[in-house]
């Protein structure tokens, strides 16, 4: 097993009296797909926000490729190679799909003449490649604000991939999508993990997706990491069952 790419070390974060994260530690290695599950309010999104620099933790450290990410603004973390999609798909409402992808591609580059040219024309092989890869090439000139939710999610992933990330954070990537497009999107993400050795960390409520695609599963409950392991072990873990039966039924067979 190779050295971990992401090391989350004893993270704690509370809001007022609520402990959103309590002493959470885990690692993710390149090429690995890891799911974080847990009932609503378990701290999944807080965990993502701390890793991605939107929130500062009270205690603990996040290291990426051996260097800490703490006190780095989100855009600097993006430059280090961490891509992210959000729970509620965030797209650029005033742009077309093609413009958004073009912007995401130049954002990581220096603003040289080629970047200016590529924005002025919004035509390049890299843009087309990403559009095709996410199967949104037929929507290239559609307006982001008018996209169906599933397409917005795919566009968001395209923008995250434009960074050529080494770690991809996806917060509920398939929420609000049809079952078919859920599997498509996840196949794409995990294919990336295998092909380009990208680490993928995602949260998910759909247990079919979690157990179908994750190499490893982390279980959060009220801010604490109560279990982690291979999907089969997690499925059988009595503590996990208790958490879910007590609070939130896993949506395994709908």
CB of 184 to other proteins, least distance (A): 22
State which residue, 91 or 181, has the beta carbon closest to other proteins: 91
CB of 159 to other proteins, least distance (A): 6
Gap between the Cα atoms of 24 and 18, Å rounded: 15
Give first-to-last CA distance, the chain, whole Å.
Answer: 36
Tally Cβ neighbours within 10 Å of residue 19. 17
Q: Do residues 86 and 171 lie in contact, with contact meaning Cβ atoms separated by under 8 Å?
A: yes
Q: Is 107 exposed, middle or buried (0-12, 13-18, 19+ CB in 10 A)?
A: middle
Phi and psi torsions of 100, nearest 5°: -60, -45
State which residue, 80 or 135, has the beta carbon closest to other proteins: 80
Binding interface with other proteins (CB under 8 A)? 52, 54, 73-76, 78-79, 83-84, 86, 88-95, 99-100, 102-104, 106-108, 111, 115-116, 119-120, 143, 145-146, 156, 159-160, 162-163
CB of 158 to other proteins, least distance (A): 11
What value does the CA radius of gyration of the chain take, rounded to a whole number of Å? 18
State which residue, 32 or 99, has the beta carbon closest to other proteins: 99
State which residue, 162 or 185, has the beta carbon closest to other proteins: 162
CB of 49 to other proteins, least distance (A): 10
């Amino acid at each position: 097993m190779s050295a971990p790419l992401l090391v989350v070390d004893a993270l704690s974060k509370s809001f007022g009296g609520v402990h959103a994260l309590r002493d959470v530690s885990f690692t993710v290695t390149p090429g690995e797909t890891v799911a974080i599950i847990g009932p609503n309010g378990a701290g999944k999104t807080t965990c993502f926000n701390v890793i991605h620099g939107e929130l500062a933790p009270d205690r603990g450290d996040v290291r990426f490729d051996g260097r800490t990410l703490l006190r780095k603004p989100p855009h600097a973390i993006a430059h280090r190679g961490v891509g992210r999609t959000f729970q509620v798909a965030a797209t650029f409402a005033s742009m077309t799909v093609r413009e958004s992808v073009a912007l995401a591609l130049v954002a990581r580059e220096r603003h040289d003449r080629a970047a200016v040219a590529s924005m002025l024309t919004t035509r390049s092989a890299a843009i087309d490649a990403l559009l095709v890869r996410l199967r949104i090439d037929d929507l290239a000139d559609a307006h982001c604000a008018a996209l169906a939710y599933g397409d917005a999610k795919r566009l968001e992933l395209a923008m995250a991939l434009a960074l050529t990330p080494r770690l991809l954070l996806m917060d509920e990537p398939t929420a609000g999508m049809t079952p078919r497009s859920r599997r498509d999107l996840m196949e794409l993400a995990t294919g990336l993990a295998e092909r380009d050795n990208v680490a993928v960390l995602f949260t998910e409520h759909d247990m079919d997706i979690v157990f179908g695609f994750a190499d490893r599963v982390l279980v959060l409950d009220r801010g604490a990491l109560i279990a982690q392991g291979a999907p089969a072990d997690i499925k059988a873990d009595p503590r996990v069952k208790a958490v879910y039966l007590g609070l939130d039924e896993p949506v395994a067979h709908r």
